[in-house]
Chain A
Amino acid sequence: MSAAEEVVAEGHERVEAVPKRAMTLGTTTSLVVLAALLIVPVFAKNFIIFQITMLLIYGLAVLALNILTGGSGQFSLGQSAFYAVGAYTAAVLMEQFNVNYALTLPIAGVICFGFGYLFGKPALRLSGVYLALATFALATAMPQLLKLNFLEHWTGGVQGLVVTKPDAPFGLKVSQDTWLYYFTLAVTVAIYIFSVNLLRSRSGRAFMAIRDNEIAASSMGVNVALYKTLAFGVSAGITGVSGALGAIAVQFVAPDSYTITLAISLFLGMVVGGVGWLPGSFVGAAFIIFVPNIAESISKGLSGAVFGVLLFLVIFLVPHGARQVAIVSQQLLGKLRK
């Protein structure tokens, strides 16, 4: 017995330095961020409001990828395909079938969940870089699939579809942009909370168990095939909702808006935000929206090169992305308080 105690004591000394990994922000920080987001439209111009709306929308798409990669350990370079399906679902339903914009979101989510789940089935046989390649193929195929002749009647073919921007309901006297912002914020907060719940639940633990060790996970009773496809489904579903919101915000869908470049941007957003850290998704989204603009303001001709240098700096200085910044600043704050 005494020896057992010794072993524990020994272990205790050595592990003290390991920080507890959290998936989320603390309650106080979350509330401060939410409050800031709620009052932004009071000060900001419509264009800024639109950009923050897009930040939330891309943030959701990055969050979806984060659940797949950070949660279940599966790579995807095909998120643009799910985003496109979501966007087209919303656009076609609103413009061809006069469905209310708010209703198109859950429909897009369900359709993309099914699409992702089905795609996840054959993808089960692949892992790591091979899975990344298979999803890459999906992303490359999607714009051309959307241009198919027999779909043109609904999708508008190469021309795409123009989407009507919704007005604020109940006669509220706010601009369309402001209303859409609050609508997007509500959807984002809801999905964020659901995602945090999911990752902290039995299902989320099954995802992470698979990510860390598939054989051990299945010995514990985790149906590896089921949870891997579920992760694909959930990720695709959230990406679909984000795509639908994107279509409504941009008021336009066209096949070439959803190329592999979008998929890579989302992947980049995930890495910059910190893989597996959900709040980082929105930091990553801010990076992929604003940094190209910053790069352009530095040099018009060489904006791509400047973006590259900035990206390189981020990866070099904070390889674990925004999560690392958050951990370091938390430690600094802790020291200051002492």
Chain B
Amino acid sequence: MTQAQLAQGTSPLLAVRDVSVVFGGIVALNGVTFDMHKGQILGLIGPNGAGKTTLFNCLSRLYQPSSGDILMEGVSILSRPPHKIAEIGIGRTFQNVALFPNLSVMDNVRVGTHARTSSDIISDSLKLAWVRRSEASVNKKVHEILDYLDLGDVAHTVVSGLPFGTQKRVELARALAADPKILLLDEPAGGLNHEEVYVLGDLIRRIRDDRHMTVLLVEHHMGLVMSIADHVVALNFGKKLAEGTPAQVQADPDVIKAYLGSKDQ
């Protein structure tokens, strides 16, 4: 909370401005506006079909908003193709784990560094000295991240054989490898058991503090969002219902009606 308040005076790191997305006749997002400030953990909540994942996919440029704008450090990201999002510091994980199943944990995380490195097929084929130096620094960084996330023991294991919880951490490691300024986490608690969810909550906070990141957390798990988010945005039917601290949002009558209320019935 205090960090969010401190950041109020400065310009937002990421600004979502009046974003609407229309698929055919269906309005998936309707004029959503909010700001993310540096160092924040922003929780995006809402019932199924509220437009959370749609917004998420606009941020990673898989969808093009019908109107509105998304600004990263004051610059619109909407003219960038999806593969040029990682280089401006937006990293993401996927709702249902989208790893490279036939690659080892290490190679998955190495792919994460793609946006931060360069090479060409000729230098790569000839393994030129600068390529070897670049690979050495990639390996160093990957080992550091694997150790940070307790994945060192499975570094050389093919990911398809790993349990779901571990795969989710590998995905997190892959996203961290690109040195993102903003980490977009799409339902990281999905499929995890009660205990794992709390470990994850600690981990997300630890990543924010240790690695100076800003986190956008799209989540169904209210307990997780309310315990770690500094700021919460609630969506329903593509519209922003409420915004504020977890306590404020939790107390908002519209949110109770739309989300928490429906849960009690």
Mark A residues whose CB is within 8 Å of B.
Answer: 1, 3-5, 7-8, 10-12, 14-15, 17-18, 20-21, 194-195, 197-198, 201-206, 208-209, 211-213, 215-224, 230, 234
The B interface is mostly helix, strand or loop, or mixed, namely helix
Q: Give bound CA distance, A7 to B202, whole Å.
A: 14
> Complex Cα distance A205/B107, Å?
7
CA distance A194 to B84 in the complex (A): 28
- In the complex, the answer to whether B150 meets A209 with C-beta atoms within 8 Å is no
Give bound CA distance, A223 to B119, whole Å: 13
Interchain nearest-CB distance for B43 vs A (Å)? 21
Q: How large is the interface on B (under 10, 10 to 19, 20 to 34, 35 or more residues)?
A: 35 or more
A201 and B131: CB pair below 8 A?
yes
The residues of B that contact A220 with a CB separation of less than 8 Å are: 86, 111-112, 114-115, 174, 178
Q: Chain B residues near A5: list those with CB within 8 A.
A: 150
B237 at the A interface (CB under 8 A):
no
What chain B residues lie within 8 Å of A212 (beta carbons)?
99-103
Minimum CB–CB distance for B134 against chain A, Å: 8
What residue of chain A has the Cβ atom nearest to residue B153's Cβ? A12
Binding site for A on B (CB under 8 A): 60, 62, 81-87, 91-92, 94, 98-104, 107, 110-112, 114-117, 119-121, 124-127, 131, 134-135, 138, 150-151, 153-154, 156-158, 161-163, 165-166, 169, 174, 178, 195-196, 198-199, 202-203
Looking at B87, B125, B153, B165, which has the most chain A CB atoms within 10 Å of its CB?
Answer: B125
Contact call A3/B124, Cβ cutoff below 8 A: no
Give Cα A10 to B86, complex, Å.
32
- For A230, list chain B residues within 8 Å (CB): 121
A219-B82, A220-B115 known; A197 vs B107 contact (CB < 8 Å): no
Known: A220-B112, A220-B115, A234-B121. A213 touches B86 (CB 8 A): no
**Cα distance A265–B83 when bound, in Å?**
37
Q: A11-B162, A209-B111, A219-B85 are in contact. List 14 more A-B contacts (CB 8 A).
A: A8-B151, A15-B157, A18-B158, A21-B158, A202-B119, A202-B131, A203-B124, A205-B103, A219-B60, A219-B92, A220-B86, A221-B85, A221-B115, A223-B83
